[in-house]
Amino acid sequence: MDTSNPSQPSYPSYPKGKRAGLKDKAESPVREAFWISLSARDDAKPFGSTRGGETALNARGKALAASWRDLGDLRSEVEPDVVVIGPRRLQGILLFPRKRGDKAALPEVIRLFKVLSSLRLAQLGKTAGGASAKTSAALWKKSFAEKPISGSAELAEVRKALKGLQAR
């Protein structure tokens, strides 16, 4: 998997219309996993900067990481896994510990994360005299990218790729 350019992730390819979850029957409990990518709405660098090939998160980037960790506390059907935050983008893995009957769960979880992170960043802006709530609410692009991860071997590969991005 090519991770040479963190702004252009290399997702595994899947046949159109397939949303296969983890199929490895040896894993318990049965779960689904998705590689998620969210982008900031504008071309500014709201979460930090890049110096010498390494990302230095600012206070907003650190608050975003805290929002990712808190997501599992708010929705019991999701476990946030590895996350990498760049100056304009968040990439991470979401695990659904139980097989979902509801196909709308992933978009709902992403919507919740966007609201949670926007509120946290708005609060940070108020305490620091920075961006207003209106500015933070318009932080994220409407869409998000998702790629299903099928099997424990692929999950390990994606985790390794994300940790490689994080190490830069």
Task: Tell me the per-residue pLDDT of 3-32, one tens digit each, with 9 for 90 and over.
Answer: 444 454 454 544 444 444 444 434 444 478
Domain boundaries, the chain: 32-167
Which SS3 state, helix, strand or coil, does residue 31 take? coil
Please state which architecture CATH assigns to domain 32-167.
2-Layer Sandwich (3.30)
pLDDT, tens only, 74-106: 888 899 999 999 999 999 999 987 766 566 689
For residue 46, whether the previous peptide bond is cis, meaning omega lies within 30 degrees of 0, is no
Q: Is the pTM of this model over 0.85?
A: no
